Chains A and B, each alone.
Chain A
Amino acid sequence: MKIRTKLLAIAVVPITVFLATGMSLFILNSEMKSAHERVDLNAEFGGMTSNLLILTYEYGITSGERPKKQWESQYAALGTHIKKMMEKFYRPAEKSLLTEIGLSYKTAGSLFAEICGYDSKTDYSKQSPMALQLRNNMANRLILELQAVVPPLDRLTRITHEDQVMYARVQSLMIIIFMFSLVAIISPLSFFIVRGISRSLLLFQQGMKIVASGNLNHRINMDSGDELGALARGFDEMTGQLRSVTVSRDELATEIDERKKAEEALQEREEQYHMLFEGAPDAIFIADPETGIIIDANVAASRMIGRPNSEIIGMHQAGLHPPDIEAYAKETFRLHLEEALQHKVSSAIEHTVLRVDGSIIPVEILVQMVTISGRSALQGVFRDITARKKAQDQFAHEAALNATMFELSRKVLMAESIEEISVITLNEAQKITGSRFGFVGHVDKTTGFLVCPTMTHDIWDQCSVSGKSIVFEKHGGLFGWVLGNKKALMTNDPAHDVRSTGVPSGHIPINRFISVPALHGNVLIGQIALANAERDYNDEDIAAMERLALIYALGIRRKQAEEDLRNLNEDLERRVADRTTALEIKGLELQDSRQALMNIVDDLNLKAVEIETANRKLQELDRLKSMFIASMSHELRTPLNSIIGFSSILLNEWVGHVTEEQRENLAIILRSGKHLLSLINDVIDVSKVEAGIVESRTEDFDLYDVVSEAVSSLEKEAKDKGLDLRVEAVHLEMHTDRKRLLQCLLNLLSNAAKFTEKGSITLRTLSGQTLRGRSEEMLAIAVEDTGIGIADDDIPKLFRPFVRLESPLKMTVPGTGLGLYLTKKLVTEVLKGEILCERGSAAGSRFVVRIPVRI
């Protein structure tokens, strides 16, 4: 930007601000004018309202045509005025106030029209005070309505006034801003312009100073577009031309200097190389690439080959290597050369070098093209890698050994038998040591003998020892020493070893021997022995053998354990089998017993069926017997009924007089019939009692009545025989089987009568007794006679059926032998009491019946 433009900018800014401010002030003024107009409109509006008030008042009093017309024209003008005001007053607050005012005027207009309407209908010539009063009232309302306009009008006026005040304030503010902006804009602008110019001038001055001091590379580089910038660019151009002239002169001098330095360095480097060459720890040979003749060799090279430097120089490079690989050596040299020519340095290769003493050294050769005294030569660096090789071999040996061990462990684990383990172990041992012969054996746990299953494999055919066996009961010689001491043994000269006792005749000759014991913990398991390797045995062999022996020992131990386990299992199985057989035999026996038992059970079942059948038959028979008795009783008693009944009628002379003789005969018929009936009844009763179907019929009765009935039936017989019949009975309410009780008493009384020829029969009752162990009230009835009595021995027989005791009266007294048996049955089973017989107090006998009063 040109300086003029800058200056112009300084002038333009205030003009712009001035114009803007001025325009603002102009707009402000017009706004203020508008505000004034609004004030005027408002004032006019107030005046119009006052006029309307006055006219209303006037019309209210006069109701004249003039005030009415004036009111209406004023009202119309007011309408236009409000419209005009609506345009001027545009703020929402003002608008709402104006609407409010407008509404009030609308109401006022309709009120005035109402007054006018009222007037037109009224005859004003006859103005009554009342009509006047009404109109006045309406006018007053109108006035009140118009007065309501005043507060909004006041507010409107207030707003316009506030406007004026505000405008004035804004105007003052504008002027102040105008002043300040003017100062604020101009001052910095002028400052920046002046500063820019002075800076450019300073830069220019500095640049000139630097160039003057000789630095022709310096440039002012002022990008300013003004006059100062043009000046600076001109100056820079001039400096540049000055510089190019100076540089071409300097370069010539430098080149000469550098070439001199290079020559010095080359010389120095050759010296350094020689030093390195001679001091290098590796052997270095320099050969002619064309012929392969060695032209130089360092000290290390002499040391390696074992020849002085003078001998080496002039040799063909192939002479460094063993003669048997001469062709290989030449070929390698050729390849080396090619590679070195292509890539400057060959890759390292392994080779062997022949020493003057004939020994061979493994080396690593690195070949490189070098320039010596301007001629191209091939430099070979030979590094002795004997140690590395040895380490590598060792490592490979170890790895192979580990692999072998692993393989052996695997095989031993999978081996089927001790023999297989032994063979595998021996094979591996022979392989590792390169031994021609060997054996592997284990110590039998029970006998302590050494058992060598491998003997049959290899040595066997070549051995001609008498009585040879794979089992060694005695442990002698070298192998015996190992077993005895549990230590490894190695000798490469067994003939002179003190531990040797020689070999038996026929034994294969032994020139080298190695053996290790196989130990498990400290227990001797067996032995590995090897002999006649093509080389001497060494410590490595011992170490390898010991590891083999460990695996072998573990394998043997495992096999032995397995064998033990198998033996145990077999034993167990055998015992189980024995036991099973025994059990099976027992089982068979048991089965036989069971069969026998089942046969018995079958028999029993058969018997049970037979018994059941028999039982059924018996039951059937019993039923038939009962049926027979039942029908017999009916069939026998029916004719007896007639015999007794009709003889009784005849005897009582119902059908006419009977003679004395006839009477006696009829009495015999009646007596015999009755006797027969009683016999039949006894038989029926006995069968009923025995069948358990005797009928028990309980009822309430007086004991005295039953006793009387029984005694009365005997009175005649007693009287006939001249017997004294005594009765001592009590009245007692009873509840039991009356009929059966009566039957029992009759039986006892008739028995007493039968066996008593003279004396008395006594019946006594005794109530209020209790039987031992029973709570119910008991009754005792005793029938005592003075008859022939009963022998003590006969008393137990008394109550058996069909028993008639031997007595003088047996033949004369009739009886079935059922009377007392039936009585006892009835007393015990129907009346639930007991009966017993005692020797009477005098001669004779006494029967006592004890029964419960109630059942």
Chain B
Amino acid sequence: MKKVLVIEDNKDNLRLITYALERRGYEVVSACTGEEGIELAARERPYFIIMDINLPGIDGIEATIRIRNSKVDGSIPIIAMTSYAMLGDRDRIMKAGCTGYIEKPIDPLTIIDSIHEIIKEING
């Protein structure tokens, strides 16, 4: 089973994403903070990472930058998840090293397909 790391502080949202991922056969590893997420990313070597941007402590953008600067395989896709897309956010997210992004509210029926599409685009 492929592992997916979900970094999300909202428990309800995490549960919803977990439903969606597990239904498609992924093993979900989750973290509530950016720091924890970075640690797990190094330890678990997930297939891909879903990163909430609005996090307590260091935010998703900062966490992404740190993961990209660590020894973790640079090819791991990081999918940013943001509840509000204000002007300039998209650029900041992509610049930090995210592979792509999805917007809240997430639809559990379609989210995995959207992620697959992003990864497929990257892998060509």
Contact = CB atoms under 8 A, between A and B. Distances in A.
A5 B52 CA distance: 174
Given A641-B106, A644-B105, A645-B106, A695 B87 contact: yes
B81 to A, nearest CB: 11
B83 A648 contact: no
A546 B19 CA distance: 146
A646 B11 CA distance: 13
Interface string A688-727: 0000011101000000000000000000000000000000
B74 interface: no
Contacts of A646: 12, 16
Nearest to B22: A654
B90 interface: yes
A649 B108 contact: yes
B56 to A, nearest CB: 14
B95 interface: no
Contacts of B106: 641, 645
B114 to A, nearest CB: 13
Chain B residues touching A, majority SS: loop
A648 B109 contact: yes
Interface stretch (A58-66, A490-498, A629-637): A629-637
B84 A630 contact: yes
B18 to A, nearest CB: 11
Given A640-B105, A652-B109, A633 B16 contact: no
Interface size range of chain A in the complex: 20 to 34
Chain A residues touching B, majority SS: helix
A645 B105 contact: yes
A655 B18 CA distance: 13
A638 interface: yes
A169 B38 CA distance: 153
A580 interface: no
B94 to A, nearest CB: 12
Nearest to B105: A641
Interface in B70-91: 83-87, 90
B92 interface: no
Interface in B83-124: 83-87, 90, 104-109
Contact of A638 (B10, B19, B108): B10
A654 B12 CA distance: 16
A693 B84 CA distance: 13
A455 B54 CA distance: 124
B104 A642 contact: no
Given A652-B109, A677-B105, A645 B84 contact: no
A265 B3 CA distance: 191
A695 B19 contact: no
B87 A693 contact: yes
Q: Which of B19, B105, B109 has the most chain A CB atoms inside 10 A of its CB?
A: B105
B20 to A, nearest CB: 8
A644 B107 CA distance: 8
Given A640-B105, A641-B105, A654-B23, A649 B16 contact: yes
Interface string B12-30: 1100100100010000000
Given A641-B106, A648-B109, A649-B19, A634 B84 contact: yes
Nearest to B91: A697
B13 A642 contact: yes
Contact of A641 (B85, B90, B104): B104
A809 to B, nearest CB: 29
Contacts of B83: 634, 637-638, 641
Contacts of A697: 90
Nearest to A646: B16
B93 to A, nearest CB: 13
A9 B23 CA distance: 187
B107 A633 contact: no
Nearest to A696: B87
A649 B108 CA distance: 7
Contacts of B87: 693-695
A518 B31 CA distance: 135
A654 B87 CA distance: 36
A694 B54 CA distance: 21
B25 to A, nearest CB: 14
Contacts of B104: 637-638, 641
Nearest to B54: A634
Interface string A639-668: 011101110110010110000000000000
Contacts of A634: 54, 83-84
Interface string B47-72: 00000001000000000000000000
Nearest to B13: A641
Nearest to A635: B83
B82 to A, nearest CB: 10
A634 B85 CA distance: 11
Contacts of A644: 105, 107
A746 to B, nearest CB: 16
B26 to A, nearest CB: 14
Nearest to B89: A695
A144 B31 CA distance: 143
Contact of B16 (A630, A645, A695): A645
B13 A654 contact: no
A14 B83 CA distance: 170
A697 B94 CA distance: 14
Given A693-B87, A695-B85, A695-B87, A637 B19 contact: no
B107 A645 contact: yes
Contact of A633 (B23, B84, B108): B84
A643 B1 CA distance: 29
A634 B107 CA distance: 17
A671 to B, nearest CB: 14
A638 B10 CA distance: 9
A677 B23 CA distance: 26
A635 to B, nearest CB: 10
A729 to B, nearest CB: 23
Contacts of B109: 648, 652
Contacts of A677: 105
Contacts of A693: 86-87
Contacts of A654: 19, 23, 108
A695 B86 contact: yes
A677 B108 CA distance: 16
A640 B10 CA distance: 13
A634 B52 CA distance: 13
Contacts of B23: 654
A117 B107 CA distance: 152
Contacts of B108: 645, 648-649, 654
Interface in A109-152: none
Contacts of B86: 630, 693, 695
A649 B106 CA distance: 12
A56 B106 CA distance: 156
A649 to B, nearest CB: 5
Nearest to B104: A641
A695 B12 CA distance: 29
A654 B86 CA distance: 33
A623 to B, nearest CB: 15
Please give me the 4 A-B residue pairs with the lowest Cβ-Cβ distance, nearest first: A641-B105, A645-B16, A695-B87, A642-B12
15 contacts: A630-B84, A634-B54, A637-B104, A638-B83, A641-B12, A642-B12, A645-B107, A646-B12, A646-B16, A649-B16, A654-B19, A654-B23, A654-B108, A695-B85, A695-B86
Given A641-B104, A641-B105, A654-B108, 7 more contacts: A637-B83, A638-B10, A638-B13, A645-B107, A648-B107, A649-B16, A654-B23
